[in-house]
């Protein structure tokens, strides 16, 4: 920033703050609470952002730039104040301004409620991509739902997870700009009247009910403040016009009922990231939002003066974040056929060349399938179109494989046998997209070989990999300011926009002075986390101890249980064998369970029971501590991740599509204990095998065991005394004597099927943990590895990921 520009910005920021205190809050200085200061500063900042947003749009228009639309049911943004100040480069200026008025900026950050419009990895990835697209000056916009209630707040009562509603907009968010004039109307329900005019089949969709989508734009500032984009979030409203029609017909109660149903649509984010909900409301959410997005995209296209819809693919790219927005394909087809009057072939070509699909899971229970009957009821015209796509797909496949091929049934979109007929959304997404990508090298291979071998055979050129990344602006610069300062002092601030620059650090990995600074920074971050944990749990963590962290959604495949078995093993070593661990450890676990996922909820209860026993046993005092930190969310992650020494990434190989927490931890100098799963494999390749702790079966070995059908978990129990001890202690009520039967399930399920092969990996896991303790005891060697992790993590920036999407899928420089 030049001096005059800086002075001008300072003056306008100060003036804007005063303005909002007076005219938005209508208060005088003396009356202000902390919350008011937050609001005034945020509103002032929003004004600066709006200016730049308008300028950005004008610039893209002049450049006639191709637009990218990222369609996602989830955007896990977190807080915006600190992030926006950083990205505009005015955080210190704002700090000084406020300090002169006796206000601590840092304290204002905690006034902001997280925007938790997502469950976990997939939603946070969308948020990181928005940050990167804006920072790279790309015209990239999100489309999503403006949920009134974000992901539930997690409370822990008596060791159990209890869900509370997250009314994040109780005070309206200053980052959301309502755009009522851009409302969209989307039809649902009704029926099809078949009509043949001039020899052409012209279906008429009648008795529709209109839904209204009310957009609000959430501003996304790129780093450097030049580019400000937004994610457009739709809230559902009933159509007034429609209401009046029913009111006039005399059915007052029905009219009010319908209004309520319509507005329920955008009430709440579905809190599951695995089991498919299968509920009408969820289907309505997916369709409603896609309907609004596509209309808005096409409106923008013609507003920019485009008059030939055939040019759409060269002007617009649409990325589907998993199958949740897949109906975009059917909706775009419907508009092109029924509104634009195109022939099928032309419409299909445009759709296919515009849309691309990212897959985030192979887990069968997470793959979306919708019953034909439900689709018929909600979107009859779309179902017709889906049937036509299916029939053409099978027709094409039959010309390649023959009419009798078994593959025809496997590739079909409609599975006629399941529950009276279902649409497989991933199949619709794949046939309708010109690009199909997985999110790590391993996962992308598995997409081709396991999820969709038939599609891969027909269209190998569509399949590609885009390994995930995370934004270093939030996950290093914002979350770990001390480390960020040290890096900038050493190598300059180029890493903020080019994470590969961190590699220069390799040269200093042996430098003792640097070791000391790294250690001091980690220590301060651990102290900060200890303070938070003390406030939340009244539990004291020793910052000298090894902070061993697993923070992510609770899932059987992520194997929080494996970590827990390891903790119980350590505990029994101390209290029964009188063998102390080589280094004291603090086990820190955080994460939410889907409210209907009882196994995950029981795991939380077990963690808390084990924590109770371990933390209150005098024999482990000063050696072991266990903390389950409630309400894991973006702002808490920003506190936890910089404080970790060890990052647990221990999913059953082949199950975690990528993982992104693994990248955030390594970026902050934690070492990883992990399986050869998802992006862990690429992290190992990047940081070097000597700087990461890999253990356990590979995806190939697991597949083989499963195929042979001779995995016998009970063998491990009988042959390994350590497993026996740990499982018996848990199952026999040692951690909850009042209710000795509660955790019998753990032993039963692990000895029965052990679907996630916890026992097969147990020995390797605890032996690796032992090696880790020995390594940690040698502080110099640990610190060196930690520095090398930071130095070599550059590839896992979402800037790299987004650039690859832009080059290979969106063709942005067109």
Residues designated as active site: 360, 552-553, 558, 660, 664
Sign of CA dihedral 55, 59, 62, 65: negative
The reply on whether position 144 binds ligand 26Q by CB under 6 A is no
At residue 220, φ and ψ (nearest 5 deg) are: -125, 110
Residues 461-480 interacting with ligand 26Q (rule: CB under 6 A):
468
Nearer to ligand 26Q, 465 or 480 (CB): 465
Whether the Cβ atoms of residue 461 and residue 436 lie closer than 8 Å to each other: no
Give CA–CA dist 411/424, Å, rounded.
10
Q: What share of the chain is helix, strand, coil (3-state, %, to 5)?
A: 55, 15, 30
Q: What is the residue whose two structure tokens read 């208060």?
A: 27
The reply on whether position 366 binds ligand 26Q by CB under 6 A is yes
Residues 399-458 interacting with ligand 26Q (rule: CB under 6 A):
439
The only residue of 139, 291, 678, 794 in contact with ligand 26Q, by rule CB under 6 A: 678
CB of 270 to ligand 26Q, least distance (A): 4
The reply on whether position 272 binds ligand 26Q by CB under 6 A is yes
**In 539-641, which ranges are continuous DSSP H helix?**
560-577, 598-615, 634-640
Nearer to ligand 26Q, 273 or 775 (CB): 273
Q: Produce one character per residue of 700-719: b if its CB has 16 or more CB atoms within 10 Å, e if not.
A: eebbeeeeeeebebeebbee
Nearer to ligand 26Q, 468 or 786 (CB): 468
Size of the site for ligand 26Q (CB under 6 A): 23
Taking residues 91 to 130 in sequence order and writing x for each that binds ligand 26Q by CB under 6 A, - otherwise, the string is: ----------------------------xxxx--x-----
The reply on whether position 65 binds ligand 26Q by CB under 6 A is no
Q: Which stretch binds ligand 26Q (CB under 6 A): 128-136, 269-277, 411-419, 790-798?
A: 269-277
Give CA–CA dist 790/676, Å, rounded.
20
CB of 439 to ligand 26Q, least distance (A): 4
- Residue least distant from ligand 26Q (Cβ): 121
The reply on whether position 277 binds ligand 26Q by CB under 6 A is yes
Q: Which stretch binds ligand 26Q (CB under 6 A): 249-257, 275-283, 301-309, 426-434?
A: 275-283
CB of 362 to ligand 26Q, least distance (A): 10
CB of 499 to ligand 26Q, least distance (A): 18
Q: What is the DSSP string of 679-697?
A: THHHHHHHH-GGGSEE-S-
Give CA–CA dist 404/422, Å, rounded.
22
The only residue of 112, 137, 273, 548 in contact with ligand 26Q, by rule CB under 6 A: 273
The reply on whether position 560 binds ligand 26Q by CB under 6 A is no
The reply on whether position 361 binds ligand 26Q by CB under 6 A is yes
CB of 529 to ligand 26Q, least distance (A): 24
Residues 6+ apart with CB under 8 A from 398: 405, 408
Work out the number of other CB atoms within 10 angstroms of the CB of residue 487: 24
Closest CA to 473 of 449, 497, 509, 490: 497
Nearer to ligand 26Q, 42 or 561 (CB): 561
Give CA–CA dist 654/676, Å, rounded.
8
Measured CA to CA in angstroms, residue 496 lies from 93, 492, 571, 614 at distances of: 19, 9, 42, 42
Taking residues 633 to 672 in sequence order and writing x for each that binds ligand 26Q by CB under 6 A, - otherwise, the string is: -----------------------xxxxx------------
CB of 463 to ligand 26Q, least distance (A): 16
Beta bridge partners of 164: 153
CB of 653 to ligand 26Q, least distance (A): 13
Measured CA to CA in angstroms, residue 132 lies from 64, 219, 435, 812 at distances of: 21, 14, 21, 14
Nearer to ligand 26Q, 581 or 678 (CB): 678
Q: Produce one character per residue of 752-783: b if its CB has 16 or more CB atoms within 10 Å, e if not.
A: eebebbbbbbbbebbebbeebbebbeeeeebb
Closest CA to 474 of 790, 222, 128, 75: 128
The reply on whether position 208 binds ligand 26Q by CB under 6 A is no
Nearer to ligand 26Q, 138 or 657 (CB): 657
Binding site for ligand 26Q (CB under 6 A): 119-122, 125, 270, 272-273, 276-277, 282, 360-361, 366, 368, 439, 468, 656-660, 678
């Amino acid at each position: 920033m030049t001096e005059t520009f800086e002075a001008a910005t300072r003056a306008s920021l100060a003036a804007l703050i005063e303005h909002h205190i007076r005219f938005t809050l209508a208060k005088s200085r003396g009356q202000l609470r902390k919350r008011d200061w937050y609001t005034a500063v945020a509103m002032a900042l929003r004004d600066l952002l709006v200016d730049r947003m308008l300028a950005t749009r004008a610039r893209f228009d002049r450049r006639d730039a191709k637009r990218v639309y990222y369609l996602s049911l989830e955007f896990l943004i977190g807080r915006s104040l600190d992030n926006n100040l950083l990205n505009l480069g005015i955080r210190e200026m704002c700090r000084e301004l406020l300090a002169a008025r006796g206000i601590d900026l840092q304290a204002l950050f905690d006034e902001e409620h997280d925007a938790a419009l997502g469950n976990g990895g997939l939603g946070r990835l969308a948020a990181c991509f928005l940050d990167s697209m804006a920072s790279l000056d790309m015209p990239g916009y999100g489309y999503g739902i403006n949920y009134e209630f974000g992901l539930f707040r997690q409370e822990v009562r008596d060791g159990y997870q209890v869900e509370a509603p997250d009314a994040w907009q109780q005070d309206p968010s200053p980052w959301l700009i309502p755009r009522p004039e851009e409302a969209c109307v989307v039809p649902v329900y009704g029926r099809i009247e078949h009509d043949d005019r001039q020899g052409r089949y012209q279906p008429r969709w009648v008795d529709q009910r209109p839904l209204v989508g009310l957009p609000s734009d959430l501003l996304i500032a790129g780093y450097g403040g030049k580019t400000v984009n937004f994610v457009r979030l739709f809230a559902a409203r009933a159509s007034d016009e429609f209401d009046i029609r029913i009111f006039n017909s005399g059915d007052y109660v029905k009219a009010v009922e319908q209004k309520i149903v319509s507005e329920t649509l955008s009430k709440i984010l579905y809190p599951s990231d695995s089991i498919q909900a299968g509920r009408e409301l969820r289907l309505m959410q997916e369709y409603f939002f896609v309907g609004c997005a596509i209309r808005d995209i096409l409106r923008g296209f013609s507003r920019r003066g485009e008059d030939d819809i055939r040019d759409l693919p060269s002007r617009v790219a649409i990325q589907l974040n998993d199958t949740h927005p897949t109906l975009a394909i059917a909706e775009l087809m419907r508009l092109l056929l029924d509104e634009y009057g195109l022939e099928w072939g032309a419409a299909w070509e445009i759709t296919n060349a515009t849309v691309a699909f990212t897959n985030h899971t192979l887990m069968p229970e997470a793959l979306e399938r919708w019953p034909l009957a439900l689709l018929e009821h909600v979107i009859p015209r779309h179902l017709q179109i889906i049937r036509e796509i299916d029939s053409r797909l099978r027709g094409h496949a039959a010309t390649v494989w023959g009419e009798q091929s078994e593959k025809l049934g496997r590739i079909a979109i409609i599975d006629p046998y399941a529950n009276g007929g279902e649409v497989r959304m991933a199949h619709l997404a794949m046939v309708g997209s010109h690009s199909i990508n997985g999110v790590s090298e391993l996962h992308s291979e598995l997409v081709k070989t396991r999820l969709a071998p038939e599609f891969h055979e027909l269209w190998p050129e569509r399949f590609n990999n885009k390994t995930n990344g995370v934004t270093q602006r939030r996950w290093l610069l914002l979350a770990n300011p001390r480390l960020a300062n040290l890096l900038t002092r050493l190598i300059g601030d180029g890493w903020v926009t080019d994470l590969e620059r961190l590699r220069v650090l390799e040269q200093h990995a042996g430098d003792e002075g640097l070791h000391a600074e790294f250690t001091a920074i980690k220590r301060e971050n651990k102290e900060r986390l200890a303070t938070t944990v003390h406030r939340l749990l009244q539990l004291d963590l020793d910052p000298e101890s090894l902070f061993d962290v697993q923070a992510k959604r609770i899932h059987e495949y992520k194997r929080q249980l494996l970590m827990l078995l390891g903790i119980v093993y350590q505990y029994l070593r101390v209290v029964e064998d009188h063998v102390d661990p080589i280094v004291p450890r603090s086990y820190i676990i955080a994460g939410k369970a889907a409210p209907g996922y009882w196994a995950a909820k029981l795991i939380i209860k077990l963690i808390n029971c084990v924590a109770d026993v371990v933390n209150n046993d005098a024999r482990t005092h000063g050696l072991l501590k266990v903390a389950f930190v409630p309400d894991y969310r973006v702002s808490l992650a920003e506190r936890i991740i910089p404080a970790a020494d060890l990052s647990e990434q221990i999913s059953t190989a082949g199950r975690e599509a990528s993982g992104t927490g693994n990248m955030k931890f390594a970026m902050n100098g934690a070492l990883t204990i992990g399986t050869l799963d998802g992006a862990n494999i690429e992290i190992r390749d990047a940081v070097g095998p000597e700087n990461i702790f890999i253990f356990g079966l590979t995806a190939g070995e697991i597949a083989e065991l499963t195929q042979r059908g001779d995995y016998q978990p009970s063998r491990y129990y009988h042959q390994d005394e350590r497993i026996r001890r740990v499982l018996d202690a848990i199952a026999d009520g040692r951690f909850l004597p009042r209710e000795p039967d509660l955790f019998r399930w753990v032993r039963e399920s692990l000895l029965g099927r052990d679907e996630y092969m916890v026992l097969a990996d147990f020995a390797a896991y605890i032996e690796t943990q032992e090696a880790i303790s020995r390594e940690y005891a040698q502080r110099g060697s640990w610190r060196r590895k930690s520095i090398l992790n930071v130095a070599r993590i550059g590839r896992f920036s979402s800037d790299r990921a987004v650039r690859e999407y832009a080059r290979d899928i969106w063709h942005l420089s067109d």
